Structure 1
Amino acid sequence: MPGGQLIAVEGPKAAGKTTLMAVLADRLCDLPVSPVLTKEPTPAFDLDSEERLRGVELAAAIAQDRRRHVTEVVGPALAAGRIVICDRYLLSSLVFHSLDGVPHDVIEELNADRT
């Protein structure tokens, strides 16, 4: 599978994303290589930032975490032809940060360099 595939599971807390990801991974267990399960924000993200930062500052911090995530996990897995199942991705940022008053074009610009 050249280029791999990214499956983003979007939704609010307690919506069942983790359960859905486990079911997807189980359904894909017959593949030669198991899928990569990952999440955003990543474990490297300082969750206290969600309490300290607001608006564009928080959107920028999460976009930076996403860049690191894509560089270190998602990108290499996709390049290796793997399926990546991610708990949240860009759509979550669009919804979450829009509710915090950040315009969509700003959110898109902050995330423009993702691969």
Structure 2
Amino acid sequence: MFITFEGIDGSGKSTQARALAEALRALGHDPVLTREPGGSPGAEEIRRLVLEGDPDRWSAETELLLFTAARRDHLERTIAPALAAGRIVICDRFADSTRMYQGLSRGDLRATVDTLHRLMIGRDPDLTFLIDIDPETGLARAKSRNGTEERFEDFGLGLQRKMRDGFLALAREFAPRFRVIDGTRAAGAVAADVLALTLDALGARG
């Protein structure tokens, strides 16, 4: 099973991805925990290009090509081999983030995103958790990390509000695989819901 976590910056999705991987390991599974952009040596190099530097470093079109290149390498070297071996793959962000960040927020590129995804990636997750949180809270959390990968956070609150609305619309568009989770609660409560829904999905797949 291929599971992804999505949400605006600071939503807690990375924390929840790690928590799910730990919980599944405790239950005897051997999940692969990975992230985007990144997840393979080549994709990690591209990660530094797109997440660091000035907000205006790249156009949305250039970002789209870079993210797609990173995703293709990630798919070839990490995701597809793990799935072929029967392992659960848990990924912090995937194509839905590109549909939002480059396809919606920084230009009218959604059709281009979907075309590149169909041609170069060719698969979507089996299950996607959208960790939903108030944009003001999420941005404050994200900025408090004081890291170097804050290029998208530096676009400001307006982007985060647009992203939240866009993610919720995406959850309706791809309703069969999306689960919207209230991320304003304690991390443990969120993790318990995520694990329960994952186990239900695994059971349904036999």
TM-score normalised to the size of structure 2?
0.50
Contact 1:9 1:17 in 2 (8 A): yes
1:1-115 equivalences under 5 Å are 5-29=1-25, 30-31=27-28, 33-42=29-38, 43-50=44-51, 51=54, 52-97=57-102, 98-112=104-118, 113-115=120-122
CA deviations on 1:68-98 (whole Å, 9 max, x unpaired) are 0000000100111110000000110001012
Larger C-alpha radius of gyration, 1 or 2? Answer: 2
Moved over 6 A (4+): none
5+ residue gaps, structure 2: 39-43, 123-206
TM-score by length of 1: 0.86
Per-residue deviation, 1:46? 4.2
2:49 maps to a residue whose letter is D
Q: Do the aligned partners of 1:41 and 1:62 also contact (CA within 8 Å) in 2? A: yes
Work out the percentage of aligned pairs sharing the same amino acid.
Answer: 32
Deviations 1:41-69, CA, capped at 9 Å, x for gaps: 00231433354211211101101100000
SS in 1 for 2:91: strand
* RMSD value, Cα: 1.5
Q: Secondary structure at 2:48's aligned position in 1? A: coil
- Which residue is equivalent to 2:139? none
Deviations 1:17-50 (A, max 9, x none): 121012211221123x410000000023143335
Does the residue aligned with 2:7 lie in a helix, a strand or coil? coil
Question: What is the count of residue pairs matched by the alignment?
Answer: 110
Q: Higher helix share goes to which structure? A: 2
Paired residue type of 1:81: G
Distance in 2, Cα, partners of 1:80 & 1:91: 25
Between 68-77 and 54-63, report the one with greater CA deviation.
Answer: 54-63
Gaps of 5+ in 1: none
Instruction: Report SS of the residue matched to 1:34.
Output: coil
